[in-house]
Amino acid sequence: MFMKQKFVATLAAFAILGAAVAGPAGAAEEAKAAANGHTYPSIEKTSADTPKQYKMSPEFQAQIKKLPPEFIQQFKKMTSKHTRYSEDATARQVMMELLSDVQCTTAGLMVENGEMAADCAVRASRHRWPKGHLMAYVKLEQINVDSLATLPKINAQVEGGLERVAEMALKKDFVSAGAEMGKVLSGCSSCHNLFRFGKGDSPYIVE
């Protein structure tokens, strides 16, 4: 019992010391954040600002070249808000990050924590871009206008829906946010009924 009490007392001492040491710096950061205003999401810097260029296989390049220029422009516009580029994560790993943020959003809504829900929802809507490009993990036979034509609608339902969830959560309209979250999950299901990512790196990245 004495050893347990001593251990708890030691932890308390470390906590107090940590607060005393970190206090001034933390206050300065809070003042800086207040001056700049809140920005969502509040995430650490873990990705590159620009995508690393990889050499892609001839068959992949041939499929991309078959896509009409207007479709390429639409796709670029649709994905322009994704500004975190990974040099390591595969598409499946990025999907797991997205799943984690979606679960975080749902948890925030369940306990009516609007800031938590909004933070996670916006981070999910602007998820990290996998190594090589998301398209590099799509099957070759699906890289065509017919297969990809549904993406803008799905993207509006999922990523657009997450942004709407964030807005509703910050307004504490949790009933509407929950209903919108249901539409988001339906969009996720529709997407994965069409596209499935395999394990590991894209087979079309030559390096």
pLDDT tens digits for range 68-126 = 999 899 888 888 888 888 888 999 999 999 999 999 999 999 999 999 999 999 999 99
Residues 82 and 133 grouped into a single domain: yes
Residues 15 and 95 grouped into a single domain: no
Domain-embedded: residue 43 = no
Eight-state DSSP code of residue 128: P
Q: What share of the chain is helix, strand, coil (3-state, %, to 5)?
A: 65, 0, 30
Residues 2 and 79 grouped into a single domain: no
Domain-embedded: residue 201 = no
Burial of 116 (0-12, 13-18, 19+ CB in 10 A): middle
Of 40-44, 48-52, 80-84, 166-170, give the lowest mean pLDDT range: 40-44
Residues 108 and 20 grouped into a single domain: no
- Residue 124: the pLDDT is 96
Distance CA 73, CA 79 (A): 10
Length of the chain: 207
Domain-embedded: residue 92 = yes
Distance CA 197, CA 50 (A): 23
Phi, psi for 172 (deg, rounded to 5)? 65, 30
Distance CA 80, CA 170 (A): 24
The string of pLDDT tens digits covering residues 122-138 is: 999 999 899 988 889 99
Residues 91 and 125 grouped into a single domain: yes
Residues 13 and 89 grouped into a single domain: no
Domain-embedded: residue 10 = yes
Residues 24 and 81 grouped into a single domain: no
The string of pLDDT tens digits covering residues 6-38 is: 433 433 333 333 333 334 444 334 333 333 444
Is 188 strand, coil or helix? helix
Banded pLDDT at 46 (limits 50, 70, 90): low
What range does the domain containing 1 cover?
Answer: 1-37
Instruction: Name the domain count of the chain.
Output: 2
Is a pLDDT exceeding 90 seen at residue 187?
yes
Radius of gyration of the chain (CA): 21
User: Nearest CA to 172 among 117, 119, 123, 125?
Assistant: 117
Residues 33 and 67 grouped into a single domain: no
Residues 15 and 78 grouped into a single domain: no
Please enumerate in sequence order all residues whose Cβ is within 8 A of that of 11, keeping only pairs 6 or more positions apart, or say none.
none
Residues 31 and 97 grouped into a single domain: no
**What predicted TM-score, i.e. pTM, was given to this entire model?**
0.73
- Residue 31: the pLDDT is 35
Domain-embedded: residue 164 = yes
Within 13 Å of residue 124, how many CA atoms lie on the same side as its CB?
32
Determine the distance from the C-alpha atom of residue 196 to the mean position of all C-alpha atoms in its chain, rounded to a whole number.
18
User: Nearest CA to 84 among 53, 40, 46?
Assistant: 46
Domain-embedded: residue 49 = no
Domain-embedded: residue 82 = yes
- At residue 120's C-alpha, the angle toward residues 170 and 102, to 5°, is 115
